Amino acid sequence: MLKLYDTDIESRLLLGTARYPSPEILRQAVLASRTGIVTVSLRREMAGGRTGGAFFSMIRDLGVRVLPNTAGCHTAREAVLTAHMAREVFATDWIKLEVIGHHDTLQPDVFELVEAARILCAEGFRVFPYTTEDLGVGERLLEAGCQVLMPWCAPIGSAMGPVNIGALRSYRAHFPEVPLIVDAGIGRPSHAAAVMELGFDAVLLNTAVAGAGDPVAMAVAFAGAVEAGRAACLAGPLEPRDMAVPSTPVIGKAVFS
Ligand SMILES: CC(=O)[C@@H](O)[C@H](O)COP(=O)(O)O
């Protein structure tokens, strides 16, 4: 079972709650995915004068753990304030920390991210930082007090899937004991299976399900892919080779001449 901070989590699929065609489809997709954790953007839902009230109570009624996020924040200060609000709204000290540094790529501002992580961990938050696959930044986040790391595999919403498999492989090898969740950029179930096969502990995704032609059916597909990838990782997949290896033994074959 996956342990995140002190909590055991059964499903290794974490789901975002934005951009669904309707709240009812979101509800059905969450149930179909069998996820145990959904992430919710405080700023997005409270933007434009909306209070987010009806949406937040629908999320609370889903019966899954809520991981509020600081999506839309661009500075450590904004992210810390948003985390405080999230703690009030959802009565949780879990926070998915996003501090965006670049408009086109939605790449994290890793300097502000580490600063916000340091402040929030010191305040007792359980921080889940959305980060790049940079090893040094990962180390700084652990020093700040994070016990989970969430490297991207591609820009948020891009659906590109793992663009730098080598970097993800190194990340896993560099932090063998840390729970690692691939967050952002996954487009297809095969992408989720691929990163799970690399040994990542879980995946978090939103757009690939919310934007699918049939989000509920896609949620089912992702649930299966994440389980398959995890099972394959535990089963010890072969490493690719440059040369052919005959699958039929040569010794003992019949000789006709
Ligand atoms: C919902 C959320 O937290 C996103 O910011 C997250 O990073 C998912 O990204 P995708 O939409 O690319 O799956």
Tokens of residue 61, six digits: 């009624």
Q: What pLDDT score was predicted for residue 250? A: 73
Protein residue with least CA distance to atom 3, ligand 1: 16
In a domain, 240, yes or no: no
3-state secondary structure of 133: coil
Is ipTM > 0.90 here? yes
Among 5, 71, 66, 2, smallest CA distance to 30 is for 66
CA distances from 250 to 145, 243, 254 (A): 56, 17, 9
Tokens of residue 36, six digits: 């145990």
Cα(20)–Cα(1) distance, integer angstroms: 29
Protein residue with least CA distance to atom 9, ligand 1: 184
Give the distance from CA 71 to its chain's centroid: 13
3-state secondary structure of 3: strand
Rounded distance from Cα 185 to ligand 1 centre (Å): 7
Cα(155)–Cα(153) distance, integer angstroms: 7
In a domain, 45, yes or no: yes
**What total number of domains does the chain contain?**
1
> Is any ligand 1 atom within 6 A of the Cβ of residue 13?
no
Domain extent, residue 205, equals: 2-235
Nearest ligand 1 atom, CA 184: 9
In a domain, 251, yes or no: no
> Is any ligand 1 atom within 6 A of the Cβ of residue 189?
no
Q: What is the pTM of this model?
A: 0.93
* Mutation to probe ligand 1, out of 30, 35, 38, 39 (largest number of atoms < 8 A from CB): 39
In a domain, 120, yes or no: yes
Protein residue with least CA distance to atom 1, ligand 1: 16
Ligand-binding annotation for 206, yes or no, is: yes
In a domain, 125, yes or no: yes
Side-chain-facing half-sphere of 239: CA atoms under 13 Å: 3
Q: Residues of the chain whose pLDDT is less than 50?
A: none
CA distances from 159 to 1, 92, 105, 125 (A): 28, 30, 12, 30
Cα(15)–Cα(59) distance, integer angstroms: 12
> Is any ligand 1 atom within 6 A of the Cβ of residue 69?
yes
Domain harbouring 87, CATH code:
3.20.20.70
Q: What pLDDT score was predicted for residue 51? A: 61
In a domain, 206, yes or no: yes
Q: CB 231: neighbour CB atoms within 10 A?
A: 12
Protein residue with least CA distance to atom 7, ligand 1: 184
In a domain, 244, yes or no: no
In a domain, 98, yes or no: yes
What's the full length of the chain, in residues? Answer: 257
